[in-house]
Homo-oligomer: A and B are copies of this chain.
Amino acid sequence: MRLRVKDMDIATGRVLVATLNEKDAEKLDINALDRIKVKKGRNTETVVVNIAEGKIAVPKGKIGVSEGVVDSLKLKKNDIVDIALARKPLSISHIKKKLDGQRLSKKEINQIVWDIVNNKLSGIEIAYFVSACYTHRLTLNETVMLTKAMVGHGDILKLDKYPIIDKHCIGGVPGNRTTIVLVPIIAAAGLTMPKTSSRSITSPAGTADTMEVLANVSLSIKEMKRIVNKIGCSIVWGGALNLAPADDKIIQVERPLGIDAESQLLASIMAKKHSVSSTHIIIDIPVGKGAKIEKKKDAQKLKKEFEAIGKKLKKHIKVVITNGSQPIGNGIGPALEARDVLWLLKRDYKAPLDLERKCIILASETFRMAGIKDGRKKALEILNSGKAYKKMKEIIKIQGGNPNINPDKIKLGRYSFTIKSSKNSVVRDIDNIAVSKIARVAGAPFAKGAGIYLYKHAGKKVKRGEILFTVYAESKERLKYAKDVLKKLNPFVLK
């Protein structure tokens, strides 16, 4: 309701008060002592309501405001303000309920998610929700309801296909760019895979960062749908879409304490998958030092939870626990990883075999889940025949990139230095965390050409003077910083 400001001095003291005429108040069902939002331009102030009877104090169509409101909104007489009833969001009491250890109903969870998505809850209030999920855990049913609520309060990619394949990796391992290999293999087999991926937050590159070297990844949901309907797949940045948006707001609030409210994390992941209508999901849990999951036991537990929630959501889920103890692939950083992926798809001898092996495992498990026999053989056939590469060229082209890009010509950082082995030895270990840090200090993922290229993996023999790795940067300074970090962190442990 739009009202004209009538400057009045009916309220003294600290309270912010606005007086409405009884007729206007009646229309909006506002009572004395209710709270309303008064909006002037970009500024809003929540104030307590008084009701004026008759026409003298505040006539119909006008609003009387106390000095506090005048100051706060910089109001002048006869300004037009917009008012609306403000109350404690409904979900406040549901959050309190969960904090008291009680179970929430579907309706209550829906309300909480709705209020989060619509900015009705403050960071403090969301923090109470996260705490409640963290200390009391959600039951499996609550997790499922939360997943569905997150999906429901966001956009959904609807596709008239079956099966629809999706993939998720728990992360923490540098390189490990399986998605960009897997999607063309799966789609070349005639299956549908509308993949959305994230950018990096703390790693040297996310799938979206790497794919961006080859094509545009910021697409609308409409464009994505058109593409998937045409070529059976896509590799786009999820952040540009409005899929399960509650998730991002919850993550923001979790960050200060580094809390992972596990049941809520599961809901977040499944919501993203559910909102692209996927029916078959392969989940990769890399386990190893420096990966997100460091212990096999924790991976097993997480696997079971994924399987349980998948069953409830009537989705086929295959969880693969993989070796995450060292980087996968040779290139670390967007351009270096994009080069690896193209080499692999083009069957170039420079392709990293560890990445290839892992992609074939994931592809074969995916095929098996989708009822396709001899998955491993099929994946290899699709790769070796060039069908996967052909599909990749289709993806790059339809997403606005150059399908004929030569991986050998992908631009790397023009500044680089190499580290050689000081002795004849064997690589005992490559430190995930050190590799990530150095690549990031060198500029990845923002400087696409920055990163590290690994010439050796753990278990390999090295001769004295052989190159262990090269660091790339797009500026001299960045290269220097990487060198500085290298003085403190050693990514290669030799025997």
Please report A residues at the B interface, Cβ cutoff 8 Å. 10-15, 19, 31-33, 50-53, 57, 88, 92, 95-96, 99, 101, 122-128, 131-132, 134-136, 253, 256-259, 437, 440-441, 445-447, 475-478, 480-481, 484-485, 488
Contact = CB atoms under 8 A, between A and B. Distances in A.
Contacts of A127: 124, 127-128, 131
Nearest to A199: B14
A20 B132 CA distance: 42
A257 B32 contact: no
Contacts of A131: 99, 127-128, 131-132, 135
A101 B135 contact: yes
B10 A478 contact: yes
A437 B488 CA distance: 66
**Taking chain A's interface residues, is the majority helix, strand, or loop, or is none over half, making it mixed?**
helix
Contacts of A445: 13
A256 B477 contact: no
27 contacts: A10-B477, A10-B478, A12-B447, A15-B446, A19-B477, A32-B481, A32-B484, A33-B441, A33-B485, A53-B480, A57-B477, A88-B256, A95-B257, A96-B257, A96-B259, A99-B134, A101-B135, A122-B123, A123-B123, A123-B124, A124-B253, A125-B256, A125-B257, A127-B128, A131-B131, A131-B132, A131-B135
Contact of A92 (B135, B256, B481): B256
A31 B437 CA distance: 13
Contacts of A10: 475, 477-478
B481 A51 contact: yes
A310 B10 CA distance: 46
Contacts of A101: 135
A48 to B, nearest CB: 10
Contacts of A11: 446
Contact of A437 (B33, B92, B122, B446): B33
Contacts of A256: 88, 92, 122, 124-125, 128
Contact of A96 (B96, B258, B481): B258
A437 B48 CA distance: 13
A213 to B, nearest CB: 14
A10 B474 CA distance: 9
Contacts of A99: 131, 134-135, 257, 259
A381 to B, nearest CB: 40
Given A124-B253, A127-B127, A256-B122, A446 B484 contact: no
Contacts of A475: 10
A92 B477 contact: no
Contacts of A88: 256
A91 B126 CA distance: 20
A74 to B, nearest CB: 19
Contact of A257 (B33, B92, B478): B92
A262 to B, nearest CB: 12
Contacts of A124: 123-124, 126-127, 253, 256
Given A19-B477, A131-B131, A132-B135, 11 more contacts: A13-B446, A32-B441, A32-B485, A51-B481, A52-B480, A57-B477, A92-B258, A96-B259, A101-B135, A122-B123, A128-B131
Contacts of A51: 481, 484
A478 B53 CA distance: 11
Contacts of A12: 446-447
Contacts of A31: 488
A447 B258 CA distance: 47
Contacts of A33: 437, 440-441, 485
Contacts of A481: 32, 50-51
Contacts of A477: 10, 19, 50, 52, 57
Contacts of A253: 124
A236 to B, nearest CB: 19
A224 to B, nearest CB: 23
A441 B128 CA distance: 32
A51 B123 CA distance: 34
A393 to B, nearest CB: 28
